[in-house]
């Protein structure tokens, strides 16, 4: 079915990475469960923004995806979808995203074009800077700020700290994931931390970013007034991130699927569960 091809195009299951942190921002801003209307609009914003960004990235990267054995079977380079149809998909999701922000607040609507500009800009960064991983982190870091705005109409300090943590977490695991394309990037003039610093350097940088993420999440708990339940979840997250680095130690990429998707999925969902329990058990 065509819809399945579009779900594959945007790797829909990976929504599990950013969405829980958007919900964390929403729950902490509301001090619990917000209205169903706000929840529904936040979900629409998240899914549409991510879908438009991923589809746009697939269009921009199609020439490289077509010649990379790891990505050649993606729907666009494989010919299952055409650029014109994917471009229309990007436009529809972008319009829906902006419409949903308009229903949330004036500030959300005013910031929506800047959010789209940033997530589209990311697709070009591997052409000129190895800091592309940090740009991707910044893109996903929009989620908790946007959710906080959805509830309060303003940007709070806890949301900024949480966004910083998300940026470091995403940047760190994206560097690990990019190890798979280190030689391809070097051969084709693309920029990445693995292409620039090699295996050992990439592992060190990723570990440092994730250590920074844990620190910021600790600060976030203080800023948001969270208690021991949250910090128990944070301790579990730290162990999961350690497990991720253990799986790819010495450049063993054979378990990248587990290290990338399974571990990071548990990290995001686990943190959401910890925050929700902390708020609702008071």
pLDDT tens for the 282 residues of the chain, in order: 678 888 899 888 877 788 999 999 999 999 999 999 999 999 999 999 999 999 999 999 999 999 999 999 999 999 999 999 999 999 999 999 999 999 999 999 999 999 999 999 999 999 999 999 999 999 999 999 999 999 999 999 999 999 999 999 999 999 999 999 999 999 999 999 999 999 999 999 999 999 999 999 999 999 999 999 999 999 999 999 998 888 787 666 766 665 667 788 889 999 999 999 999 987
Q: How far apart (Å, rounded) are the C-alpha atoms in residues 202 and 179?
A: 8
What per-residue string of b and e applies to 72-104 under the rule 16 or more CB within 10 Å gives b?
Answer: eebbbbeeebeeeebeebbeebbebbbebbeeb
Q: How far apart (Å, rounded) are the C-alpha atoms in residues 57 and 10?
A: 9
Predicted pLDDT of residue 258: 59
Q: How far apart (Å, rounded) are the C-alpha atoms in residues 97 and 109?
A: 9
Q: Which of 155, 133, 116 is nearest to 25 (CA)?
A: 155
Predicted pLDDT of residue 188: 96
Would you state the structure tokens that stand for residue 99, as one six-digit string?
A: 């419409």
pTM equals 0.94
Q: How far apart (Å, rounded) are the C-alpha atoms in residues 32 and 26?
A: 8
Q: How many residues does the chain have?
A: 282
C-alpha distances in Å from residue 25, one per residue of 9, 93, 163, 177, 239: 27, 22, 9, 26, 23
């Amino acid at each position: 079915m065509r819809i399945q091809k579009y779900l594959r195009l945007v790797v829909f299951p990976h929504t599990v990475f950013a969405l829980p942190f958007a919900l964390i921002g929403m729950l902490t801003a509301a001090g619990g469960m917000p209205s169903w209307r706000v929840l529904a609009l936040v979900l629409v914003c998240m899914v549409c923004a991510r879908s438009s960004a991923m589809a746009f990235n697939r269009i921009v990267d199609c020439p490289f995806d077509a010649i990379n054995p790891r990505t050649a079977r993606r729907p666009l380079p494989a010919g299952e979808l055409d650029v014109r149809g994917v471009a229309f998909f990007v436009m529809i999701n972008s319009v829906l995203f902006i419409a949903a922000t308009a229903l949330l607040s004036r500030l959300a609507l005013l910031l929506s074009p800047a959010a789209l500009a940033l997530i589209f800009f990311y697709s070009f960064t591997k052409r000129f800077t190895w800091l592309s991983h940090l740009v991707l982190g910044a893109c996903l870091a929009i989620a908790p700020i946007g959710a906080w705005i959805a509830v309060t109409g303003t940007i709070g300090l806890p949301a900024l700290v949480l966004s910083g943590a998300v940026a470091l977490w995403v940047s760190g695991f994206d560097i690990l994931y990019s190890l798979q394309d280190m030689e391809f990037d070097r051969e084709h003039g693309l920029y990445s931390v693995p292409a620039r610093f090699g295996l050992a350097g990439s592992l060190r940088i990723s570990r440092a970013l994730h250590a920074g993420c844990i620190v910021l999440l600790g600060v976030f708990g203080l800023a948001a007034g969270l208690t021991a339940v949250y910090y128990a979840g944070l301790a579990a997250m730290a162990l999961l991130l350690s497990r991720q680095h253990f799986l790819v130690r010495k450049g063993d990429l054979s378990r990248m699927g587990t290290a990338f998707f399974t571990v990071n999925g548990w990290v995001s969902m686990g943190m959401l569960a910890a925050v929700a329990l902390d708020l609702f058990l008071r």
